Structure 1
């Protein structure tokens, strides 16, 4: 459920709302909020089970999320001070079994560029006098001025059987990213591995034993709605992930492992699945995904993942969905564009062109859950079929036709300062797409940066495809004979972007979980 506060205000007045005006509207309710007593029957209280999250932050607000352990009402207070002296209490919303006791609320009419604190409680619907202990979170609204912007990105969490191992410190990459105090995390997909069981112990190559925290639902592949939900709840058990979520908003997209490996409408499920209908599995997975993350919901298309997130004058982020509208995985060698070669699909491609053309931000970050120029086979063992965009060396064909059309449009329309950020392949890399080295040359040069896994097995490197002329400027991957390295090997990667408010320069750094700066570059913006 979503609740919008102060709906009567016109949207053009949101960006300019001041902290003083916020405090004025909050003052009428602050006394009553702060005076509310806590009940002493701790054993009877609802529990906030998975911490709190915020997401899809804009200049005027964002979405906050939490989950209870029973039918409840989510109570949210919002303030501009950590003491909550100016707190405003918002009307409650229900957390019911139908949504697995999750609830999310859209906060609007907040001051831009302001640190916002929120406090969440749940009130038991069966005993409305009983409330949970409060859990506090924070986020910073997007700026209306040209201040510095900092964010991190990556993907791939709890994959290949590498779950939460207290002996290894848990999901340490989240603790490392949190220390940078970024404005947000751009989560590039594979938020969970619904197809990846988590065993209690895994024997490593050196004979040591990796010990996972386990839950019953993760003993098998996810098939039921509750099993898909449990895959997300398992990740929230990690203390570093919960602490990160309470302080850093998430801009989230999905990829294949939210459902199953390499899924498309043509997916033939392996014998480990009793449910044989891939479309039904995807529908259940999508519902769990949207329940578990603070995504702004689309009125025009409920459950839509692709969207534009405006984060001040210097940055627009275009979140892509490369799963929901793709044609079947297969050879993808068509030379004429049609349903077989859909990857974004016509509607999403048209939206992206319009959004890029209308953007006035200095930088246009295209959040792609798969890299453009890396070959990912549908059948990796036999090197057959197409899972990603790249179809092998040569002119555009199959899914590459959409990208060729998009890159041509960006060039002819005069759209400047596009940067592609992605994950998926479980290693870190920097690719410069050079038309002089490409088979298709009707585009302006651009960068693509790859980061991940955040907490999963490390693989790579992948084969390159010369269609769009990618030049490898940096790579860190295990190499042959050293695939699926555990997180304890240290090859867990994330990217960090810092945009200088004064100059508009974008500094991109690839880092590992120990926070070692592996490679960095600074991009100069062209005039918009």
Structure 2
């Protein structure tokens, strides 16, 4: 999004945690059985293979996905790796010193996948903390911590955080470090994990490498650059991620196979050209995210929407609002409204994903029905008077789709409906109604919108978006223009959201504070001050 914006546990120590693998190049894996026997490669493997860290993701009650990439020279297109497969051993243990190893195995990191590893570990215990690491050649990775989901039929408290919009050029990723210090059970990243623009296009705090991304090599290089950030590495090594993308992982404000810029001079003037770019972007995204192998993209498609159950406490229905949408109405202009927003053929989810979401909500046996997704869900009216404005890159531009979702929630009696949102670089809290223009109508749920990690720079600290917003959006409960993330705790009785803020990102090291807290009581829609 480029439009100007309106005005858990004990801390994790990086030295002790990421240094657990500090046996160096001669380290030997410790465990209850011998490491798997794999023939040594015929030629020497470069040292310092794990400079992009480790990650885990998509936790299940009995398994989790482990990720790493071999890249001794991460900013080179090939990561500094030879063009041949390399065996990578992994192990997962109950303790950070690997005295109690419970699973181990070997994956083959291949050049065609940028020497990334996606190890799908099963046979673990539910709602349990584990530690993992990798070895390739003489290199041993940093140690990562992960956690499995609760078992079906159980209802423990679940602590999670969600974030979006980390622009390398506009600030440091301090908020990621503060999130890691809180050791959440799981982190939801709601898009704009990186930005596609050329070097120097967005700011001067730090500088991107290269031109605007178009090719697979360029997308791989940019992913690698972001993964060199120590705060992002720390968070990935602290908690499992559940990721979904927005636009900047590919191209700003694209819609399906329609690019942002269709000017023939920009190289996106045909569907075929943009399809090739999207194919490259999706491939690099899968390679660098903790996603299972069956989600590996085929041509221009990557199946990203999915459902994760955390016992009977919460069901998370993760959406993809970018890949299947039709083009935005009114040329994606801000605060322009009219019949195009109600086009019955317009869709933000696509027919198949929409049916899937309805099945996911109707089959849920959890207390909380949470929908992590990318873009502003509530009505966003910044025009005084009867014209209800709209953010046409968000759900305002696809009102038939939004009304179908809220209509299903209302008609099927879906309780404790909560939407998690990123994208807009500011914090908002909204209550959700089918008709946002009539505050007397039934409350159906709430939306928590997180600000950015760094996009937009330090922010102003303002809590007032302008009087027109309060006048025209009676569902709006909170606004703040600082960087940070949202920390949540869900139990059978309550869903609590803390808006965590850092006051500066243009220099590193800012402390974190809670700017505002809200609570939703189970069975009672609408937010209240915590």
Does the alignment pair 1:509 with 2:506? no
> Match of 1:386?
392
**Inter-partner Cα distance in structure 2 for 1:272 and 1:84:** 56
Change (3 A) 1:141 1:107: same
Change (3 A) 1:313 1:369: same
**Inter-partner Cα distance in structure 1 for 2:70 and 2:381:** 39
Could you tell me which runs of 5 or more consecutive residues in structure 1 were left unpaired when the two chains were aligned: 1-27, 123-129, 164-169, 203-209, 378-382, 392-398, 478-490
Q: Secondary structure at the match of 1:317?
A: strand
- 5 Å-filtered alignment, 1:124-135, equals 130-135=137-142
**Inter-partner Cα distance in structure 2 for 1:442 and 1:296:** 42
Contact 2:304/2:319 (8 A) holds in 1: yes
- Select 1:285's aligned residue among 258, 264, 281: 281
Q: Secondary structure at the match of 2:219?
A: helix
Does the alignment pair 1:155 with 2:164? yes
**Inter-partner Cα distance in structure 2 for 1:440 and 1:142:** 37
- 5 Å-filtered alignment, 1:267-346, equals 267=259, 268-269=261-262, 273-274=266-267, 276=269, 277-298=273-294, 303-331=302-330, 333-334=339-340, 338-339=344-345, 341-346=346-351
Contact 2:295/2:303 (8 A) holds in 1: no
Contact 1:407/1:442 (8 A) holds in 2: no
Contact 2:161/2:186 (8 A) holds in 1: yes
Query: How far 1:103 sits from its partner (Å)?
Result: 1.3
**Inter-partner Cα distance in structure 2 for 1:275 and 1:405:** 33
Could you tell me which runs of 5 or more consecutive residues in structure 2 were left unpaired when the two chains were aligned: 1-29, 72-80, 331-337, 383-388, 503-510, 526-530
- 5 Å-filtered alignment, 1:17-416, equals 30-33=32-35, 44-45=46-47, 47-69=49-71, 70=81, 71-88=85-102, 90-122=104-136, 130-144=137-151, 145-158=154-167, 161-162=169-170, 170-198=172-200, 202=204, 210=205, 212=206, 214=207, 218-264=209-255, 265-267=257-259, 268-269=261-262, 273-274=266-267, 276=269, 277-298=273-294, 303-331=302-330, 333-334=339-340, 338-339=344-345, 341-373=346-378, 375=380, 386-391=392-397, 399-416=398-415
Contact 2:377/2:421 (8 A) holds in 1: no
Query: How far 1:309 sits from its partner (Å)?
Result: 1.2
Contact 2:314/2:369 (8 A) holds in 1: yes
Q: Secondary structure at the match of 2:162?
A: strand
Change (3 A) 1:42 1:511: farther
> Match of 1:484?
none
Query: How far 1:449 sits from its partner (Å)?
Result: 0.8
* Alpha-carbon displacement from aligned partner over 1:221-241 (angstroms, at most 9, x marks no partner): 001111111221111111111
Does the alignment pair 1:524 with 2:521? yes
Q: Secondary structure at the match of 1:31?
A: coil
Change (3 A) 1:385 1:474: closer
Contact 1:373/1:465 (8 A) holds in 2: no
**Inter-partner Cα distance in structure 2 for 1:33 and 1:275:** 49
- Select 1:472's aligned residue among 476, 481, 494: 476
Contact 2:322/2:348 (8 A) holds in 1: yes
Contact 1:505/1:524 (8 A) holds in 2: yes
Contact 2:170/2:203 (8 A) holds in 1: no
* Alpha-carbon displacement from aligned partner over 1:401-421 (angstroms, at most 9, x marks no partner): 011011111111111001011
**Inter-partner Cα distance in structure 1 for 2:488 and 2:67:** 25
* Alpha-carbon displacement from aligned partner over 1:75-117 (angstroms, at most 9, x marks no partner): 1111122221221453322111111111111111100111111
Contact 2:381/2:390 (8 A) holds in 1: no
> Please, which moves more after superposition, 426-435 or 43-52?
43-52
**Inter-partner Cα distance in structure 2 for 1:272 and 1:67:** 35
* Alpha-carbon displacement from aligned partner over 1:431-468 (angstroms, at most 9, x marks no partner): 1224575359986431111112112215795986999x
**Inter-partner Cα distance in structure 2 for 1:465 and 1:364:** 28
**Inter-partner Cα distance in structure 2 for 1:200 and 1:426:** 14
Change (3 A) 1:252 1:148: same
Count of aligned pairs: 445
Query: How far 1:57 sits from its partner (Å)?
Result: 0.6
Contact 1:313/1:360 (8 A) holds in 2: yes
Contact 2:429/2:477 (8 A) holds in 1: yes
Q: Secondary structure at the match of 2:139?
A: coil
**Inter-partner Cα distance in structure 2 for 1:260 and 1:424:** 14
> Please, which moves more after superposition, 83-92 or 242-251?
83-92
Contact 1:57/1:311 (8 A) holds in 2: no
**Inter-partner Cα distance in structure 2 for 1:182 and 1:387:** 31
* RMSD of Structure 2 on Structure 1 (CA): 3.4
Change (3 A) 1:201 1:410: closer
**Inter-partner Cα distance in structure 2 for 1:385 and 1:508:** 24
Contact 1:314/1:504 (8 A) holds in 2: no
> Match of 1:451?
450
TM-score by length of 2: 0.76
